[in-house]
């Protein structure tokens, strides 16, 4: 299992534990967390077996995780047999998923600043945020391009 998916499973456990202890938020039914865990594990198996990429462009795992979380949230709302979990339960897990690419972009930008000995201390914070957003967007596009190229090479090697 990838480090990211292991981290997400640990996050689900931490959010469940926090939710049980919270006096402000109603405790979510354990089946909600069980379903999230199951789908994350299924995602890992699908990725390992390359079932997700047959005939399609590879997708960032972050997008697939967001889809799982949103799908579980919607299924929980529709299920009359299980109390609807508080929005904060899903938001906290989703927040962790969304922070990973932001951390990657932040550390990449920090490395560029260090490697080129750039003094960004005079730049307004909003400018730095704009640069970081643009860097993250372009980094995702570049990563997608490389993933598609590698995927194409894997298909040719079969």
Regarding predicted confidence, which is higher, 157 or 16?
Answer: 16
Query: pLDDT, tens digit, for every residue of 29-47?
Result: 999 999 999 999 988 777 6
CA–chain centroid gap for 23, Å, is 28
Q: Among residues of the chain, what percentage have pLDDT more than 70?
A: 93
Q: Alpha-carbon distance 88 to 4, whole Å?
A: 21
- With contact defined as beta carbons under 8 Å apart, do 35 and 79 qualify? no
What is the rounded average pLDDT of the residues 87-116?
Answer: 87
Residue 60's pLDDT is what? Answer: 83
Query: Is residue 12 scored above 90 in pLDDT?
Result: yes
Tokens standing for residue 74 = 């919607």
Give the C-alpha distances (Å, rounded to integers) separating 40 from 72, 79, 92, 105, 138: 11, 20, 16, 24, 27
Count of domains in the chain?
Answer: 1
pLDDT tier at 85, thresholds 50, 70, 90: very high
Q: Is the pLDDT of residue 6 over 70?
A: yes
Could you tell me the pLDDT band of residue 50, with boundaries at 50, 70 and 90? low
Segment 117-136 mean pLDDT: 92
**Rounded CA separation 123/119 (Å):** 9
Query: 112 near 128, Cβ under 8 Å?
Result: no
Show the domain range for 62: 3-157
Q: How confident is the model at residue 2 (pLDDT cuts 50, 70, 90)?
A: confident
Q: Each residue of 136-148: pLDDT tens digit?
A: 899 989 999 999 9
Nearest to 40 by CA among 85, 87, 8, 75: 8
């Amino acid at each position: 299992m990838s480090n990211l998916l292991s981290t997400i499973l640990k996050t689900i456990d931490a959010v469940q534990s926090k939710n049980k202890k919270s006096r402000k938020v109603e405790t979510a039914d354990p089946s909600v967390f069980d379903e999230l865990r199951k789908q994350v594990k299924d995602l890992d198996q699908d990725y390992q077996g390359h079932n997700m990429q047959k005939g399609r462009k590879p997708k960032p795992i972050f997008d697939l995780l967001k889809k799982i979380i949103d799908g579980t949230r919607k299924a929980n709302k529709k299920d009359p047999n299980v109390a609807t979990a508080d929005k904060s339960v899903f938001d906290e897990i989703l927040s962790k998923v969304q922070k990973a690419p932001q951390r990657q972009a932040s550390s990449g930008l920090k490395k560029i600043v260090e490697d080129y000995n750039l003094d960004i201390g005079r730049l307004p914070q909003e400018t730095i945020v704009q640069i970081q957003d643009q860097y993250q967007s372009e980094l995702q596009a570049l990563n997608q391009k490389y993933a598609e190229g590698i995927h194409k090479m894997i298909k040719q090697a079969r």
